[in-house]
Amino acid sequence: MAEEVKSESEKKKEDWMNSKWRPMMGWSYMLTCIADFVIFPVLWSVLQAISKGQVNVQWQPITLQGAGLYHIAMGAVLGIAAYGRTQEKLGGANNGGITAPGNGGTTYTPPAAIPQSTTSFVGTPAASGFGSAPTAGFGSSAGTGASAADITTGFGGKPAPVIPPFPER
């Protein structure tokens, strides 16, 4: 069989739906929330005031029924749609012919390591002061890399209090 030839208007119709469904989902969700949380409560209160003279019952948002599953589902749809569009843009789709650089995107590159000085904040060697790496393995009593007996000065150069040894258990 011969392939079906499509006219420009038929191609544009497909393109319109394919390119506009994400914004339409966002707008429909926004309009639903505005209606359910702003417009309907006001109209409900006006109706209650007109019919009975007072508002006895508050408006219950329809979208919050069923544990708010509507909002969870719309959040998933919009989140996946935004992620998909981001990937399309990074791949060069619909960028007006501009392609994204190979190193661009959402990939995190950690900064280079900063060399540590050999002196701690209070002027004592880093191996025996605050902020140094532990010298023993996991679970050792070294804590900050030094035993309590090694620390002789505290903050501001004042003598540190003597820490008694803990009894063995």
Dump pLDDT digits (tens) for 42-56.
Answer: 999 888 888 877 777
pLDDT tens digits for 103-142? Answer: 655 666 677 777 665 554 554 554 445 555 555 555 545 4
Q: What is the DSSP string of the chain?
A: -PPPP--HHHHHHHHHHHHHHHHHHHHHHHHHHHIIIIIHHHHHHHHHHHHHSS--S----GGGTTTTHHHHHHHHHHHHHHHHHHHHHHTTTTSTTPPPPTT-SS---PPPPPPPPSB-TTSSBGGGSTTPPPSS-TT-TTTTTS-TTT--B-GGGPBPPPPPPPPP-
